[in-house]
Amino acid sequence: MDQRLIIVSNRLPYKVYIDDQGKLKAERSAGGLASALGPLHDQDASLWVGWNDHSAIPLLPNHKRHDAKTIHEANDLLRSHRCIPIELTTREAKGYYDGFSNSTIWPLFHDFPHFAHFEEDTWKTYVAVNRHFCDAIADIYQPGDIIWIQDYHLMLLPDMLRCLFPSATIGFFLHIPFPDYEEFRKLPWRSEILSGLLGADLIGFHTYDYVRHFLTSCHRVLGREDHFGSFLINDRTSQADVFPLGIDYQRFARQVRSTSAKKMIRTFRREHSSLKGKVMLSVERLDYSKGIPDRLLAFEAFLKAYPEWIEKVTLVLITVPSRENVTSYHALKRSIDELVGRINGELSTVDWQPIDYYYRSIPFESLCTIYRASDVMLVTPLRDGMNLVSKEYLAAHDGTSGVLILSEMAGSVHELSDALIVNPFDQHAIVEAIHKALTMPKDEQIRRNETMQKRLKRYTSDKWAHQFLHALSQVKESQQHLGTARIDAAKQTSIAQAFRNAHRKVLLLDYDGTLMPFSKDPRSVVPDKKLITLLKRLSEQNDTTVVILSGRDKQTLGTWLGDLSIDMVAEHGVWFWDKIKHVWILGEPMDASWKKRIRPIVEDYVDRTPGSSMEEKDYSLVWHYRTCIRDLADRRVCELKNDLSSVVDDLGLTIMDGNKVIEIKPASIEKGAAAHRWFRDKSYDFILVAGDDVTDESMFHAAPDNALTIKVGNHATYAHLSVENVEHMRKLLSSLVNDTTPSN
């Protein structure tokens, strides 16, 4: 990569420790993020900015805290690994990390609102620390750098950087879930968080659900509407998209194949399973989102429901210390300790105890050993952004048996559908899944794992990082085409000149809002005489094709414009007018059976929103709300989109937010695709494309580079040029036929 990459995350990817000789050393941390981005950071000139948490460096004997010299040395050491350490005071770390990040955002975003504290003080510290990060990046930033910010600790940073460097390339990835609007709206600083994120050019999430939640919140909180996940903000776009994080598959698969690992695996099994017994594993950071108590209770219920498994199965429970300064984690630790004690106390026999409990972090080699030596892995978080542990277990079982029981609340479930999927709140379901896992034939285990392993081998963490950066560069490239210039008198003359000089010309024109102004009653927007004359004169020019591309139904267009010698496209690209035979031709075979499901939903909105109406076209349904009270309409638009969002994907439909209309239509139908008939004809040396609303953006996007794309109105657009209104558009068209008289 030619450009310099600046990775930014809460922590740096190196752990500083003190070796046997008392010297400071740095080693790469284990864990998903460090291994996903490590190879990119290793490339020349890449930098990593993060908090250097001194409290994580072990203290020298007889020391209560690190002295300034040690801290200075640690920072130098990190800098030598191309890390930029950020210093935080104890108060800042408490407010920003323990406070706002882990006691407000983490619980709220994981559906634990009752654990979330909303405190002005910690919020202010969060803002201040994001500002420190911003300042540190500003010190090193060079034009052309790519900045990639990671996770929920730094959600304000994208916009802070955007204000300083308007044209910088900024990516953001959220590693935790984005909650649905009903949860998110509770956050007192919800607008600030969303605006902060929208400072990025590309915002990545693990799953489509999180993207959807984010888009809905942007609409409902900020009133911003997206176009296929992309927001137009001033003169740039901000795109939200899905990038499921993978793992370094071969690292796990290789590790368990080594001779030393095989020996360790045998020893582990000898120690942890009685004769013919099975080992079940549970390993993660100690966190309430991981559902550890519910899992223990389910295991207890299993042993009671299937007592034949007493002495035949052991649950190895490894919880890794995490966020020990946050109060809710203390209570959780206590309740897990008590539960393990009670279950072991009640069910243990002389030779066996059901749960082997460890509260510690373990080295990578041991983690792989334990993964491989376990017959069943229980991953039942109540909510988890992705969950890498579930993927790592499968990599450690490369080509072999082993059963994964996986919560449907983990992001990884979308990729690991051959696991035994459970609702983590349904104890009975977990009990039955454990039984099924323990009795599953080996060949079925291998078969199930194969499909999942195949995917994990391809979608590695490395691929994730490259895909994200590739998408970021694409967003940046598409922004280059966003600037629009108003067509003034000189430009109009040069366009007219180009038209006259060209050999073959095509004009692709939207109708409503481009050639005719809007009216309260869409049926009254009949073309006036001047427009008919203008279109007629244009179509009579030598070698000139005029095409009207409209969302309107074919009957209306045929009645209004059918006598002209022009091409027409109705319903955004469903029907094409044959101007010789005077018939409408279906562009491609289509199915309209979906209307049965959608019609009652739209009808319900018509009933509940006075002034609105439903229009039914051959292959789309439209909800019109131009004459409704604005506040009510805005609310209903959000509600309708929410209601539809869960069904449209399955039915292959898309929701189009037009000018005071919501249109539901097959996803494949859009004006951009329809316009290809003319765009692909390379003999046109003058191409003019004009439109006013969001449905026309796909035409601007698809138009060849030499096309003149013209937006009617002031909204942000992919078009290169713009005119103020319908009147100006008509003037421009008139100038092509030497008629500059006003059109109205």
Residues 337 and 403: their CA atoms lie apart, in Å, by 26
Nearer to ligand GDG, 215 or 367 (CB): 367
Residue 77 CB, shortest distance to ligand GDG, in Å, is: 22
Residue 31 CB, shortest distance to ligand GDG, in Å, is: 4
φ, ψ of residue 320 to 5 degrees: the values are -95, 125
Q: Where are the alpha helices (DSSP H) in 273-388?
A: 292-305, 327-347, 364-373
Residues 659 and 712: their CA atoms lie apart, in Å, by 13
Residue 316 CB, shortest distance to ligand GDG, in Å, is: 13
Distance of CA 476 to the CA centre of its chain: 17
Helix, strand or coil, per DSSP, at residue 121: helix
Q: Could you tell me if 310 and 303 are in contact, meaning their C-beta atoms sit under 8 angstroms apart? A: yes
Q: Could you tell me if 128 and 100 are in contact, meaning their C-beta atoms sit under 8 angstroms apart? A: no
- The string of DSSP codes covering 658-719 is -SSEEEEEETT--HHHHHHHHHT-TT-SEEEEEE-SGGGHHHHHHS-TTSEEEEESSS--S-
Indicate which residue of 226, 248, 510, 553 is catalytic: 510
Q: Could you tell me if 258 and 355 are in contact, meaning their C-beta atoms sit under 8 angstroms apart? A: no
Nearer to ligand GDG, 377 or 472 (CB): 377
Nearer to ligand GDG, 392 or 418 (CB): 392
Residue 440 CB, shortest distance to ligand GDG, in Å, is: 24
Q: Where are the alpha helices (DSSP H) in 415-509?
A: 427-439, 442-458, 461-479, 489-501
Residue numbers of the site for ligand GDG (CB under 6 A)? 30-32, 175-176, 245, 284-285, 320, 361-364, 367, 384-389, 392
Nearer to ligand GDG, 385 or 691 (CB): 385
Residue 393 CB, shortest distance to ligand GDG, in Å, is: 10
φ, ψ of residue 85 to 5 degrees: the values are -75, 140
Counting beta carbons within 10 angstroms of the beta carbon of residue 592, is it exposed (0 to 12), middle (13 to 18) or buried (19 or more)? middle
Nearer to ligand GDG, 255 or 314 (CB): 255
φ, ψ of residue 725 to 5 degrees: the values are -155, -175
657 is catalytic: no
Query: Over the Cα atoms of the chain, what is R_g?
Result: 31
Residues 659 and 679: their CA atoms lie apart, in Å, by 25
Nearer to ligand GDG, 176 or 472 (CB): 176
Nearer to ligand GDG, 318 or 568 (CB): 318
- The string of DSSP codes covering 292-311 is HHHHHHHHHHHHHH-GGGTT
Residue 105 CB, shortest distance to ligand GDG, in Å, is: 12
Residue 237 CB, shortest distance to ligand GDG, in Å, is: 25
Residues 612 and 606: their CA atoms lie apart, in Å, by 5
Active site residues: 510
